[in-house]
Structure 1
Amino acid sequence: MTVSDELLAPVSPGVELCYQTFGDPAGEPLLLVMGLGGPMTWWPQELCLRLAEAGFHVVRYDNRDAGRSTRMSGRVTTGRLARAFVGAPGPAPYSISDLAGDAFGLLDHLGLGSAHVAGISMGGMVAQTMALAEPGRVRSLTSMMSTTGRRGVGWQSPALLPTLVTPRGPGRDAYIRRALVVWRIIGSPGFALDEAELRRRAGETWDRGIDEAGVLRQMMAVLTQPDRTRRLADLRLPTMVMHGLADKMVHVSGGRATAAAIHGAELVVIPGWGHDLPAALFPTFVRGIRRTADRARRGA
């Protein structure tokens, strides 16, 4: 199995994205878009390899303000964030559309006119926005644990906000301790949490680069996104929506609303699944993404 080194791609003036590929370059391109604050390594390597074995040329990458990609500017205060959380209008350093533009820039860098796109949480919002902006470049869409941007669906448990914005203290050990707290809250109650793996992943995340100011900038992009519901109704591309019934970060109503908005979308709702990627569900994820891509191939 071919696995590339981590590489850098200039995608727009002042923005470089770190990315990595898996599998045969002649395979069907599949772009994996990570969610809020997450580096590309939160798409587990085992899952990427399984997707490559299913016939995809897999591309995972760090969004701006995550991992080894470019850090942006613009300070977001907790007060400003709280106002955005309750729907008060205000400027954001950048938008979900800007993040979608970064993704298209990466496809351009790789010489890919189009790709299958799968996104998690904020990454699902980016993937939906890509399909709306340039539907000819998105072969199929898989939106996982995400939502439409409509305020009345896909809400986050208010109890999570203090945990997400409270300063964690300095250093690697403090980051790992806080990460364990967060993952225990938002993880899947129906699937065993591997604490050793969570510690390893948190340490790897720290080592690849952490920027709490960048997480707040990404959060502002999420909180100020538009409601895509009406525009999603115009999409005509194979779509899979996957969501867990135990998701505390994005309520399952967000997934249901996404599937209801997109013509012909397939909805998969999984009991016990929270806001993570349990290894036990890797076969389900691979089958769903593969099935959706096959619908696109048959349609072509």
Structure 2
Amino acid sequence: MAQHSGSKELRSRLRVAPGRGPLDLTAYDSSDTPGSPGGKRRTLAATEAMRPRLAELQQRLYAQSTAGDPRRLLVVLQGMDTSGKGGTVKHVATGLNPTGVRVRTFKAPTEEERAHPFLWRIRKALPDAGEIGVFDRSHYEDVLVVRVRALAPRATWSDRYDVINRFEQSLVDDGFTLLKVFLHIGYEEQRERLLARLDRPSKHWKFDPQDIADRALWPAYQEAYAAVLERCSTDAAPWYVVPADRKWYRNWAVGTLLLQHLEMIGPAYPKAAFDVPGNRAKLLRT
């Protein structure tokens, strides 16, 4: 199946090459718009234009699962607070059939979840065959916030990179396609978005005083994210760094990556396992 125009180029531009070695996030411009079809207006139009194709491919993905095809797609979204994980889900999922999209947000683990290995709650939330799953935060929190806030000994979280890589390889072997996106927001842009939440009463529910404390840990978080991108971008499940300061670009880029990954799967409607002409004739006689 032909790939969406420009998506292959975007994928190569945003992809973190496996085995590339140490990664410096300061080298990535969070306000950049690599590969965009133009300015804000043209990019917004391009985002709308891809929705019918996304909906078509989603329907095909679900349809082929009814014939036993195990394939499914999992989108992993990570990023600092205000980077737009929730907004990305909202915009990208617009036009998709909600019955075929499974969105899961991972907050601090519950007491029950802490009593199990860290991947236990992740496995329970995986999409079924034919579904598109979206993780707003994910298993990577156990090598991000756990590392930065020292919620577990270094010996514990440092082993998890390899555990995650093996886990994701097993998913791919079982028919998953993984799209892992790091929404890269700048330090100054985050301040502006946090201030907007404080200045608008309708946004107060989105503000957490802990966000201010986390800003003091910004260098540590950037180091932790760099380690994730370096150690867990694999051939089977690479990471993509999407500049997130411009929301219109962020939504277009993630939507384009999603479309490209669906086209890589190449879902198709299954052939009927029954006599179509015969059943049509019977129906006409009723």
Interval of TM-score (by shorter of Structure 1 and Structure 2): 0.3 to 0.5
TM superposition score normalised by structure 2: 0.40
Structure number having the greater helix percentage: 2
Higher RCO, 1 or 2 (CA under 8 Å, sep at least 6)?
2
Q: Which has the larger radius of gyration?
A: 2
TM superposition score normalised by structure 1: 0.38
